Each structure stands twice: as structure tokens, then as C-alpha cells.
Amino acid sequence: CGVFGIYGRSDAASFTTLGLHALQHRGQEAAGIVTYDNGQFHIERHVGLIGDTFTKPSVIERLPGDRSIGHTRYATTGGSSLRNIQPLFAELDGGGLTVAHNGNITNALTVQRELQRKGAIFSSTSDTETILHLVAMSEKKDILSKFQEAIVQLEGAFSLVALTAKKLIGCRDPLGIRPLVLGDLDGSWILASETCALDIMGARFVRDIKPGELVCITDKGIDSYFPFKAQEEQKSRFCIFEYVYFARPDSNIEGRNVYDVRKQIGVELANEEPCNADIVVPVPDSGVPAAIGFAQGANIPFELGIIRNHYVGRTFIQPTDAIRHMGVKLKHNANPFVLEGKSVVLVDDSIVRGTTSKKIVQMVREAGAREVHMRIASPPTMSPCFYGVDTPEKSKLLASRMTVEEMAEFIRVDSLSFLSIDGLYRAVGEVNRNADVPQFCDACFTNQYPTRLLDQDGPDNVR
Ligand code: 5GP
Ligand code: SF4
Ligand code: MG
């Protein structure tokens, strides 16, 4: 998901609309914006793309105010019904609170059950609602203390933006698994998932919010807190897959430019798994930067042999299998002019279910390619993500069922190789991966989860 917040700027909803538009790649299913003005919260939540739903003047007119938060939704937990669209809002003792969440809380259902036993009534199946309940149950006096008491009970990944009548709050989980940055638009503070949401409105990047940090923005300025005392010793475990795929290439995250990392991934891949082909062809768009790096590293011409139709969203975000299969056909077309008679090395960022790769390879062969090799810009995706990226359950991950040789046979390529986990760490600028406490979360590649997974493994197993 993508989150955005702005404080102290008239017409806040318009800026939030712009910010969410830049964050659309983080979730395309639905979006919501909440503003506060003159004693009242205003809420608009719609299914669909920002450009289709929030650009109507009537919608923006219903969102007055100089402070606002917004969310683009990518359903991971909670299903795709309207009641799960964020930001969520609650009227609490002490005033209204609205929250937008990127990530996935790994003990949400366990906490939810405890609260339900005490009589709490949940109105959605979203893990984010758990946060509102924890804030509501807190006996602390002010909303900021209540909020802090709530978040220290959470586990997993959460980059949050929250709005009360007088405060814009932002925080990251103690491992900083998902991104969140602070920006400044001519003196108004902004919180956003990625820097591309600052660029779109000419805002200045100030800094990344730190893992475990909570910032509170009011008329008086910005204050920073570190409420997660027990986890103080833990190091950052930012999601390495944000660099591989999820974030936008023009964003900078924790000092690294995402495009630059992806290109470097391609260079590493060319070094580790060379391929004597005539041309390098990316699977657009996600494979493009790595393919550029691969072509440069291997000194093989780069060609756009597959064209992507931009009016179809990322196929995997569509909820059903049937649509996903259709989506792939709608999305890509191979160009025989480029491919005919050629030995081709295809570069893509990852293989998840394998359905995309299989169709792409078939398409490239039908367009006349003589040989089709495939190079993947990440290690095999072996394990599901419980932190907000929607990888399917383990049994549906191709790499969890097959060896690399079997996968090559399944997708019908002449050769298939993946980047090594160490190569991936080199590409992000690390000398090597610290095996005991890795510098990043890389659990989908290594099965080494940086937190316990209470909802999955705990006594209250809710699977
Ligand atoms: P698949 O192998 O499932 O057919 O799809 C792989 C493609 O989906 C890759 O090209 C990649 O761009 C995209 N993708 C990347 N990340 C994810 C993810 O977390 N989940 C899913 N389902 N697809 C992803
Ligand atoms: Fe990122 Fe993979 Fe970790 Fe999920 S499991 S947070 S996708 S690295
Ligand atoms: Mg792709």
C-alpha cells in the first residue's frame, strides 16, 4: 500500500490526491482520503484508481481542510470489500482518529481475538482496525500517549500515518520493514511512502523516518519519539524486495536510488550467470532496469522485444486466478521484428507463480526466437511474505515446489538462473550478507523471518 499525509497546507486533499497518484504502483484496488476542517473529519473512500475516483471536483470539494491523510490499497489481509478501504476512522474518547497503514501486522488476529473476548466489536477484517481498538482501549490521557501504547503492542510491518484534529502522526515499526519519508512543501510537513510522492508536487525530501520512530506534527512543529524501548537493540530490516520490485525506480530509499540498485542487480546477474545471447530483452516494466544493467554488464545489445500495454494494472493485484490469467495476455505482446531468429535472454525481476514467465516465453518463441534464456533479478521466491507484499501461500510459489531445472522445464526456457542472495546484497551496496542478523528482510528468499509470526504459529493459530 501507499500512504501519504500533509499538515498545514490549504487544499490538503488536492496535494494528497497528487501524492497518492505518485504512489499508485503500491496499490490499485482502492483509495481513501480523510481531511479535518473546522471541527469535522471528512472521509472519501472509493474502489479504483486515484485518477478515476479522486479527480472529480465534487469529490475534492467534499474534502476541505489544511490537514489530510490518504491511502492506496493493495489487499493483503482482510479481503477486498469496501469496509476494508483505508484510512479507517474512529470516534474515540478525546476525539476522532484516522489511520492509514502500509504493511501487515503479524499479531493482528491474535490481538483481535483477545479484544473480542473482552467485548470489542470489529467492523472490518483489516489488520489496521486492531490499531484503532488498541488506541481506544488505552487508559493513557492524551491521544499521543494512547497511540504510543497501542503501537508497541504490534508486531510485523507497519508504516503508519494518522490524523487527529490537531496532529499528524507518522511511525515505522521497529525494524523499518516498509518505507516512510518526511518531506517539506514550503514549510508544510509531508509524510509519504516514497520520495516520488514528494517529487510530484515539488516538495523537498527531508529524511527517512527511522525504524521504530514516531513523529508528531502540530502547529508548533515536529517532535520525534522512540516508543519501542525493548526493541532498541534490533537493527533495521528494511524489505529488500522494495528495491527489487515494489518501490518506484525514481524513489530514493535509505540513501539508495531504486533505479540504480536495480541496474546494479542486472550487472551482478550478468557476472554471476552470463549468457551468450544475441539480445537482452526485459519483461516490461518490472524487468527493465535490471535488463539495462545486464546488457551493460554482459555487453549484449538491449532491445525492447516485448511491449507492454500501459492501460492494464499490475496483473497480480487482480484478486482472482481467472482474471490474473486473462490479465497477462492483455498486458504484453512480443514483437517478431526484434525477436525473429534471435537467441534471446529475457530478464525479469522475479518468478512467483510462474504464470507470467510461462506465457511470456511462449509468446517470445511464437515471435520466432531461436533460443530463449531467462535471468531473474532476485533469488528464487520460496516463502510467503507476511509483511504486506502479496506473495501467495507457499504451495503456489513455483520455487517452493520445483528445482531450478524443473522450473526451466516448466516455463520452457533453454536456460534459467537466478541472482544469488549475496549478489543481491552486493547490488544494494553491502559487502556481504550477515547470516545471523541480515541487514534486510529477505524472508521470501531465505525463509528467515525477522519477527515471530504469532498469527501463523501462535497458540491462537488463526490460519
Ligand atoms: P508470476 O511468476 O506469478 O506469474 O509473476 C511474476 C511477475 O509478477 C513478476 O514479473 C513480477 O513483476 C510480478 N510480481 C512481483 N512481485 C510480486 C508479488 O509479490 N506477488 C506477485 N504475485 N507477483 C509479483
Ligand atoms: Fe520484503 Fe520479502 Fe521480507 Fe516480504 S518477506 S518484507 S517481500 S523481503
Ligand atoms: Mg513483472
Index of the ligand 1 atom closest to the CA of residue 246: 16
In the predicted model, residues of the chain with pLDDT beneath 50 are 315, 462-463
- Tell which of 178, 203, 236 closes a domain: 236
- pLDDT at res. 324: 62
- pLDDT at res. 233: 67
Question: Could you say which ligand is closest to the alpha carbon of residue 284?
Answer: 3
Q: Do the domain assignments include residue 339?
A: yes
Q: What is the ipTM of this complex?
A: 0.93
Q: Based on the domain organization, do 140 and 191 belong to the same domain?
A: yes
What would the 3-class secondary structure string for the chain be?
CEEEEEECCCCHHHHHHHHHHHCHHHCCCEEEEEEEECCEEEEEEEECCHHHHCCCHHHHHCCCCCEEEEEEECCCCCCCCHHHCCCEEEEECCEEEEEEEEEEECCHHHHHHHHHHCCCCCCCCCHHHHHHHHHHHCCCCCHHHHHHHHHCCCCEEEEEEEECCCCEEEEECCCCCCCCEEEEECCEEEEECCCHHHHCCCCEEEEECCCCCEEEEECCEEEEECCCHHHCCCCCCEEHHHHHHHCCCCCEECCEEHHHHHHHHHHHHHHHCCCCCCEEEECCCCCHHHHHHHHHHHCCCECCCEEECCCCCCHHHCCCHHHHHHHHHHHEEECHHHHCCCEEEEEECCCCCCHHHHHHHHHHHHCCCCEEEEEECCCCCCCCCCCCCCCCCHHHCHHHHCCHHHHHHHHCCCEEEECCHHHHHHHCCCCCCCCCCCCEECHHHHCCCCCCCHHHHCCCCCC
Q: Tell me: is residue 171 an annotated ligand-binding position.
A: no
Q: How far is the CA of 286 from the centre of ligand 3 (A)?
A: 4
Ligand 2, CB within 6 Å, residue ranges: 177, 239-241, 385, 387, 389, 441-444
- pLDDT at res. 231: 58
- Regarding the beta carbon of 242 and ligand 1, being less than 6 Å apart is answered no
Index of the ligand 2 atom closest to the CA of residue 388: 4
- Nearest CA to 291 out of 267, 318, 320 is that of 267
Q: Tell me: is residue 275 an annotated ligand-binding position.
A: no
Q: Based on the domain organization, do 148 and 111 belong to the same domain?
A: yes
Index of the ligand 2 atom closest to the CA of residue 384: 5
- Nearest CA to 184 out of 207, 161, 159 is that of 207
Q: Do the domain assignments include residue 390?
A: yes
Looking at ligand 2, which residue's alpha carbon is closest to its atom 1?
239
Q: Based on the domain organization, do 380 and 308 belong to the same domain?
A: yes
- pLDDT at res. 80: 59
Q: How far apart are CA 21 and CA 415, in angstroms?
A: 39
Q: Based on the domain organization, do 190 and 289 belong to the same domain?
A: no
Q: How far is the CA of 352 from the centre of ligand 1 (A)?
A: 5
Question: Could you say which ligand is closest to the alpha carbon of residue 356?
Answer: 1
Q: Based on the domain organization, do 292 and 171 belong to the same domain?
A: no
pTM of the predicted structure, to 2 decimals: 0.94
Q: Do the domain assignments include residue 454?
A: no
- 355-366 vs 321-331: helix axis angle to the nearest 10? 30
Q: How far is the CA of 68 from the centre of ligand 3 (A)?
A: 33
Q: Based on the domain organization, do 201 and 275 belong to the same domain?
A: no
CATH of the domain at 290: 3.40.50.2020
Q: Based on the domain organization, do 147 and 284 belong to the same domain?
A: no
Q: Residues, the chain, total?
A: 463
Q: How far apart are CA 148 and CA 151, in angstroms?
A: 5
CATH of the domain at 151: 3.60.20.10
Q: Tell me: is residue 400 an annotated ligand-binding position.
A: no
- pLDDT at res. 245: 97
The structural domain count of the chain equals 2
CA end-to-end distance (rounded Å), the chain:
23
- Regarding the beta carbon of 410 and ligand 1, being less than 6 Å apart is answered no
**What is the torsional sign of CA 242, 172, 91, 64?**
negative
Q: Based on the domain organization, do 65 and 206 belong to the same domain?
A: yes
- pLDDT at res. 323: 67
Q: Do the domain assignments include residue 45?
A: yes
Strands 168-172 and 156-163: antiparallel
- pLDDT at res. 287: 97
Q: Based on the domain organization, do 214 and 263 belong to the same domain?
A: no
Q: Based on the domain organization, do 305 and 354 belong to the same domain?
A: yes
Index of the ligand 2 atom closest to the CA of residue 239: 1
Q: How far is the CA of 95 from the centre of ligand 2 (A)?
A: 35
Question: Could you say which ligand is closest to the alpha carbon of residue 239?
Answer: 2
Q: Based on the domain organization, do 262 and 218 belong to the same domain?
A: no
Q: How far is the CA of 14 from the centre of ligand 2 (A)?
A: 32
| Measured CA distances, 218 to 168, 183, 222, 343, 457 (Å) | 7, 15, 6, 60, 40
Strands 306-308 and 332-334: antiparallel
Q: How far apart are CA 175 and CA 237, in angstroms?
A: 5
Q: Tell me: is residue 444 an annotated ligand-binding position.
A: yes
| Residue range(s) defining the domain that contains residue 367 | 257-446
Q: Based on the domain organization, do 85 and 178 belong to the same domain?
A: yes
pLDDT in tens, 63-111: 999 999 999 998 665 555 677 899 999 999 889 999 999 999 999 999 9
